[in-house]
Chain A
Amino acid sequence: MTAEVLLQGIVSGLLMGLVYALIAAGLSLIFGLMEIVNFAHGEFLMLAMFSTYWAWALWRLDPIVSLPLTAAALFLLGVATYLGLIRWIIGAPMLAQIFATFGLAIFLRSAAQALWGVDFQLVKDPLIQGRISLGGLFIGMPQLAASVGALLAFVFLNWFISRTETGLALQATAQDRQAASLMGINTQRMFALGWGIGSACVGVAGALLTIFFYVFPDVGSSFALLAYVTVALGGFGNVPGTLVAGVVVGLIEALGGLLIAPALKYVAVFLVYLLVVLWRPQGLFGRF
């Protein structure tokens, strides 16, 4: 375990962490609006990845090129999910809320399996490839691009919710639904928009990941769990908080894998989740 290997791990953890942050941001946004955890978030990511892959396999569209399309497609998926499923379970008992999105997750995962089989797919020869060397450390271009892209998307998201009128309306709805609607904000529209934007975040993350990650029906589940941990760490509903939280999770995953054992890196992450929600249920930055 040289300092170099450690440093390499830290850098790679940091980069992946930014992607986790983007995925988690979408989840956090949705939860902040209506206190519903989207248990199908991982499957949304999987669909985004498959959509990117097929755009490449069928039409030779590089992931970076098809990214806007994927984001748009996921936006529509999010809105459709809200209108078709979620809107009926707002205010329903906890069981119904958990199982509605859980059922969706199972449905989407099985559909992917039925349609595309269980094989691992990979985009070959993307526009962004190779690696660069920074002071002895090697950083893969795809990983770098993914994290830079994720960071940009994250910054854009934050700008949107804090500086635009629609974004502020979203925040208002999240903080006090009744007051917001009394001020003329259409709650239903905000909810649908929240689901759309939250899913679009996953769309962007998925497109970026597909540059270098294997695509298969189960790929969503491990990302999903990391996303839950990130959201919990940053504070459910706290979108800016997910940035730091994502990086922390990425670091723990990388360092846990290095220092303990690769197979047990998730154990480290999950233990952190348990520690956080017990010691500080509101997360590092959340308001409770």
Chain B
Amino acid sequence: MPRGTKLAAGLVALVLLLAFPVIFTLPYPRDVMIRIFLYAMLATAWNVLAGYCGQISLGHAVFFGTGAYTSTILVKTLGLTPWAGMLAGAVLAVGLSQVIGYPVFRLRGHYFAIATIAVGEIVQTLMINWDWAGGARGLFIPIDRTGSLLAFQFRDKQIYYYIALALLLLALWITRRIERSRTGYYFRAIREDQDAAASLGIPVARYKQRAMALSAGLTALGGTFYAQYILFIDPESVMPLSLSILICLVAVLGGVGTLWGPLVGAAILVPLGEATRIYLGGTGKAIDLLIYGFLIMVISVIQPGGIMALAQRGRRRTG
């Protein structure tokens, strides 16, 4: 597709997205879109570390939870606006990611993946037992009736929609910038062959930590958004292994290591989850995971590059 057409198509898509909540005023479709944006954003953030840099983290929910808990605790104890809490959460998540990364990045492949699961479980267990931070009962975000923008709480989903979209666009923009820069090349070199990368002068550990920091910070932003959107958080909803897995699934289905893969994945999986929930009711929860699991197996075997790779193959054949 020539560049001009791509740009035009992008603008049209953007206008449509911006107009969506104006056209669809019922809360349900807006909620679905918000969740698509949120998952796409989380998957995009994960993609920086796992897709581009090749470090497959299966415990990323830790950073989501860090964002959610930080801003929530700051609201409850200091009355601090969640916007500042969001930033604080991101900073904390980055710090945590560096502490985790220091030992864990010495591992490779499966060992690394298992270690990330272990870290995720440890942190979740600690949160469940930390009563001051709500423990297993969780925390309610105090309802704010002033309607001020600073409170980060809105009766109308429309504003949440735009914030979620903005976060997604931020994540995509950061990914795009990295993709074309030296950092992006270094990330991919590390993914392909760490030793060869080192032999070319790349300080591997440093770049892994950088990828981790970016990924963690962005993920934490999503955590704060979630807290302010749902107004209740607990370890089960913001830090479970299942969330970590879901984030990976979204990216893997759509196409790891590509810019649009995570968004494509979210655009498919979220509505799919909704459909199974609607048509299959209570057991729907298990059925959509069943389908996810099956899809992931199929993707792994047939096209690890996900839907984006399938699309590339198709384009090349008709191209």
Contact = CB atoms under 8 A, between A and B. Distances in A.
Touch A–B, Cβ below 8 Å = yes
Interface of A: 37, 85, 88-89, 92-100, 102-111, 113-114, 221, 225, 228-229, 232, 261, 263-264, 266-267, 270-271, 273-274, 277-278, 281
A232 B297 CA distance: 25
Given A88-B301, A278-B106, A103 B129 contact: no
Contacts of A85: 297, 301
A98 B252 CA distance: 11
B297 A104 contact: yes
A37 B295 CA distance: 20
22 contacts: A37-B110, A37-B114, A89-B301, A98-B58, A99-B297, A99-B304, A100-B297, A100-B301, A102-B58, A103-B296, A103-B300, A105-B293, A107-B290, A108-B293, A109-B289, A111-B290, A114-B286, A228-B114, A229-B118, A263-B129, A264-B126, A274-B115
Contacts of A97: 110, 300
B109 interface: yes
B129 A264 contact: yes
A107 to B, nearest CB: 3
B248 interface: yes
A278 B115 CA distance: 10
B56 A94 contact: yes
Contacts of A273: 114-115, 118
Interface of B: 50, 54, 56, 58, 103-104, 106-107, 109-111, 113-115, 117-119, 121-122, 125-126, 128-129, 241, 245, 248, 252, 256, 283, 285-287, 289-290, 292-301, 304
A95 B125 contact: no
Given A271-B122, A273-B115, 16 more contacts: A95-B56, A96-B301, A100-B296, A102-B248, A102-B296, A103-B297, A105-B293, A106-B293, A106-B296, A107-B293, A107-B294, A263-B128, A266-B121, A270-B121, A273-B114, A274-B119
Contacts of B111: 232, 277, 281
Contacts of A95: 50, 54, 56, 252, 256, 300, 304
A99 B299 contact: yes
Contacts of B113: 37, 98
Contact of A114 (B50, B56, B248, B283): B283
B300 A277 contact: no
Contacts of A110: 286-287, 289-290, 293
A189 to B, nearest CB: 21
Contacts of B285: 113
A100 B107 contact: no
Contacts of B289: 106, 109-110, 113
A114 B284 CA distance: 8
A99 B248 contact: yes
A277 B122 contact: no
Q: Give the 4 A-B residue pairs with the shortest CB-CB distance, closest first.
A: A107-B293, A103-B296, A106-B293, A103-B297
A103 B287 contact: no
B287 A114 contact: yes
A286 to B, nearest CB: 11
Contacts, number: 132
Contact of A106 (B50, B110, B292): B292
Nearest to A115: B286
A259 B86 CA distance: 37
B300 A89 contact: yes
A225 B293 contact: no
A92 B300 contact: yes
Contacts of B286: 110-111, 113-114
A114 to B, nearest CB: 4
A264 B50 CA distance: 29
A274 B295 contact: no
Contacts of A232: 111, 114
Contacts of A270: 118-119, 121-122
Contact of B115 (A100, A107, A109, A277): A277
B218 to A, nearest CB: 20
Nearest to A217: B286
A98 B300 CA distance: 9
A181 to B, nearest CB: 23
A228 B119 CA distance: 13
A261 B129 contact: yes
Contacts of A229: 118
A109 B242 CA distance: 12
A108 to B, nearest CB: 8
A216 to B, nearest CB: 13
B126 A267 contact: yes
Nearest to B295: A103
B126 A94 contact: no
Given A113-B286, A266-B122, A278-B103, A225 B301 contact: no
A229 B118 CA distance: 9
Contact of A264 (B106, B125, B290, B293): B125
Nearest to B111: A277
B290 A114 contact: yes
Given A94-B56, A106-B296, A273-B118, A267 B125 contact: yes
Contacts of B107: 277-278, 281
Nearest to A39: B113
Contacts of A106: 245, 289-290, 292-293, 296
Nearest to A108: B293
B300 A274 contact: no
A225 B118 contact: yes
B10 to A, nearest CB: 28
B241 to A, nearest CB: 7
